[in-house]
Structure 1
């Protein structure tokens, strides 16, 4: 039963991350309420994982990674290179993906951040239309919605974890016990 609750909390984070990405793309703002909801979902899933495994290691490592990311990104906020919402979202993300998802998250974040920077700096790569005009506007303003690649990478890492948990549960017969 804990596995189902854990998967449900992880699955609830996906639409919220998608909302954060869309709002950041359209307004260049990440609200504190969305970050707080993500923090609660992350802490809840880590708590369920700790109860299930009997170890607080994952929660401690995730909290340490979140603190480290906050410390690393804070000077970039002071220099106005990233927004405060991006720093807070980046600090909360390790709690969402857990210590086991940090490698997948990091790899996906690199790919999505490079793709976002390429699209913003080269909007002519996009098809013509309002989307292209909006990206050209972002390039002129000098803003990059960094919440989009953070959210996309977190969604990918969570989806990977859900798939892995589903495979393990189905191969061990746990899903058969739920029926």
Structure 2
């Protein structure tokens, strides 16, 4: 039964991540309360699954990865190359996706970050309209809303992890035992 609750908590993080992406795109701000809520929504499933399996490996790996990301990105914040909200969001993401999702998240983050930077730096690729004008404004300000690719990569990773867990659970008969 803990598996269902863990999946539900992960699914609840998806709309919050979408909100973070939108607010970062429009205001270039990531609220601390949103990051703390993500921390709770990420730590809860890890704790539930660790209690169920009796292994704390995934939780420890996620905590170490989050700490390493925070330490690695902190100097970039002090140099004003990345926002503080982006650093905190990146530190929370490993707890949200778990240790097994880190590789997929890294690949997706690379793809989405390059796409976001290309859209902001080369806005003439976009159709004419308000969106293009806003992206040109971001380019003039010299900012790239990095919370958008972080959120998109996290959402895709969470969806994949939920899908993988449901497929494994149905094929092994775990969900049939719950009914």
TM-score, normalised via structure 1 length = 0.98
Please name the residue that 1:13 is paired with: 13
Q: Which position in structure 1 is the counterpart of 2:140?
A: 140
The aligned residue for residue 125 of structure 2 is 125
Give 2:77's aligned residue. 77
Q: Which residue of structure 1 aligns with residue 178 of structure 2?
A: 178
2:27 maps to 27
The offset of 1:176, in angstroms, is 2.2
Query: How far apart, in 2, do the equivalents of 1:126 and 1:51 lie?
Result: 48
Superposed displacement of residue 53, structure 1: 1.2
Residues 32-65 of structure 1 deviation map (CA, whole Å, 9 limit, x = unaligned): 0000000001110110110121111111110000
In structure 1, the gaps of 5 or more residues are: none
* Counterpart secondary structure, 1:145: coil
Distance (whole Å) between structure 2 residues aligned to residue 119 and residue 170 of structure 1: 41
Q: Distance in 1 between matches of 2:63 and 2:24?
A: 24
- Alpha-carbon separation, structure 2, partners of 1:105 and 1:48: 22
The residue number in structure 2 matching 1:115 is 115
- 1:36 paired with 2:65, answer no
2-side partners of 1:102 and 1:6: how far apart?
A: 18
CA RMSD of aligned residues (A): 0.7
Report the Cα offset of residue 175 of structure 1. 2.1
Is the partner of 2:127 in helix, strand or coil?
coil
CA distance in 2, matches of 1:165, 1:177: 15
> 2:169 maps to which residue?
169
Q: TM-score scaled to structure 2, two decimals?
A: 0.98
- Distance, in Å, in 2 between the alignment partners of 1:171 and 1:129 is 48
Matched, 1:65 2:65: yes
Q: Secondary structure at the match of 2:81?
A: coil
CA distance in 2, matches of 1:177, 1:54: 20
